[in-house]
Amino acid sequence: MDHRLVLHYFGSKRELFVRSIQLPVDPDGLLARVFGTHETTAEGTGTLVADALLGILDDAETRQVAVALIRAAASEPEAAELIREVLTERVLLPLADRVVSDEPRLRASLCASQFVGLAMARYVVAIEPLASTSRDQLVRALAPVFEHYLFDDWTAPAAAVGQPASGSPS
């Protein structure tokens, strides 16, 4: 490859790599399918998010790309930085723009952490019974987690660990 052509068309090898990272799905289409074309606070969104993310991981082709990106990010710091840039720009910021809640970027990042953790535990490490649990059961289990990440009020103080909730008998 002629270095001058890379500089002419992309500015740097780094920019060429960033542009060459192919996400396993079109993020705009995925977000539109889950959230519609506007911001949302609708209940049931957690089910749509869980179903969409499991759809990525259940399809052999898209799972292969997703897992390869996760493995590259886990093993190569430079790859992690580049993948993080692409995911932030193409997935997390557009997701945060659709979240009508406080701290939308943190909420979007928590959803991403759930996806990465699920991909690693279910498809790379193959932890049982997670690896063999049905998609429907996983959607039901993950839906409230995504709704919590996206919409719950985090401003109220959390109950102390091991302490009964106020109003509960001691």
Domain residue ranges of the chain, discontinuous segments joined by +: 25-151
Angle at 21 between CA 18 and CA 24, to 5 degrees: 150
Closest CA to 143 of 55, 76, 59, 45: 45
Of the candidate CATH numbers 3.40.50.2300, 1.10.357.10, 1.10.390.10, 3.40.50.1100, the domain formed by 25-151 belongs to 1.10.357.10
Given a cut of 80, whether residue 76 has pLDDT beyond it is yes
- Which pLDDT value is given to residue 86? 83
Are the CB atoms for 102 and 155 separated by under 8 Å? yes
Q: What is the pLDDT of residues 21-67, one digit of tens each?
A: 666 778 788 888 887 755 565 678 889 899 999 999 999 998 998 89
Half-sphere exposure of 123 (CA within 13 A, CB side): 21
Q: How far apart are CA 149 and CA 46, in angstroms?
A: 9
Closest CA to 52 of 32, 71, 81: 32
Q: How far apart are CA 111 and CA 34, in angstroms?
A: 13
Read off the pTM: 0.76
Q: How far apart are CA 35 and CA 42, in angstroms?
A: 9
Q: What is the pLDDT of residues 133-169, one digit of tens each?
A: 999 999 999 999 999 999 888 877 766 555 555 555 5
- Specify burial of residue 63 (Cβ count, 10 A radius: 0-12, 13-18, 19+): middle
